[in-house]
Amino acid sequence: MPTALITGATAGIGAAFARRLAKDGLDLVLVARDEQRLAETAETLGKQFGVEVEVLRADLAEDAGIALVEDRLRAGVDLLVNNAGFGNRGTYLDVPVEDELRMLKVHCEAVLRLTSAVLPGMRERGKGAIINVASVAAFFARGTYSASKAWVVSFTEGIAQDLGEPDISVLALCPGFVRTEFHERARMETSKVPDAFWLNADDVVATALRDLKRGVRVSVPDVRYKALVGVAKFIPKNLSGRLSSRTGRRYD
């Protein structure tokens, strides 16, 4: 039975991946920090879809947490979903350096290390897939969060090019605003975001898996966000950053 490992698997996009992949018949390895939510999610998915669900409690902002997941990946999985992430409250100059470093640890170092841990086994078996969850923010100048997600996109494109193996698929998923716990946890005020720009997590996952099968390397769900990303290429970075901030991301 194919197995997928998902980080940040108990909420938002990660939970949507877990539901969809379990429905598709994949066994799961769920990674998150909250042991109780992990247990509840595993029990629910196991009963509903009849798949095996393993849980790993790990904080990917800590070396020990990353190492724990690295060890499990070296044992072999068929799909890795690097989804764990968070946003900091405030703009760059307002955020303590320690918090920024934790973000980079989760968004960049963990993604690098987990990808490096899983790829040798995939190459040996001659098949596998990796989805790195970035953000449409990667295409706009919005501080450390955007910078870290831009790194995820560039890293994903780079390793896909370096691999050059058609049976190992690598995709960067770049959603826009998705109705999850993400914004609440970061204490983001999103009342200015038009309803039309909110995406459903299950739809985002469906798009990602469809694009993965098609060999797409950068997936931007929804035609509206595709259009925004296309326009952003022709707008100066300082202007696009101001527009992004004004449209939807204020902080309490």
- Per-position pLDDT tens, the chain of length 252: 899 999 999 999 999 999 999 999 999 999 999 999 999 999 999 999 999 999 999 999 999 999 999 999 999 999 999 999 998 877 778 889 999 999 999 999 999 999 999 999 999 999 999 999 999 999 987 789 999 999 999 999 999 999 988 899 999 999 988 875 554 554 555 556 656 667 999 999 999 999 999 999 999 998 888 988 887 676 655 544 554 454 444 433
Place of tokens 């527009």: 243
CA 202 – CA 209 distance, rounded (Å): 11
- Amino acid in position 239: L
Q: Which pLDDT belongs to residue 88?
A: 85
Q: Which domains does the chain have, with CATH numbers?
A: 3-251 (3.40.50.720)
Q: Are 61 and 77 in contact (CB under 8 A)?
A: no
Beta-strand ranges (E) seen in 58-97 are 79-82
Question: How many CB atoms are located within 10 Å of the residue 26 CB?
Answer: 21
Is 251 noted as a catalytic residue in this protein?
no
Query: What backbone phi and psi angles, to 5 degrees, belong to 193?
Result: -75, 120
Catalytic residue among 92, 145, 225, 251: 145
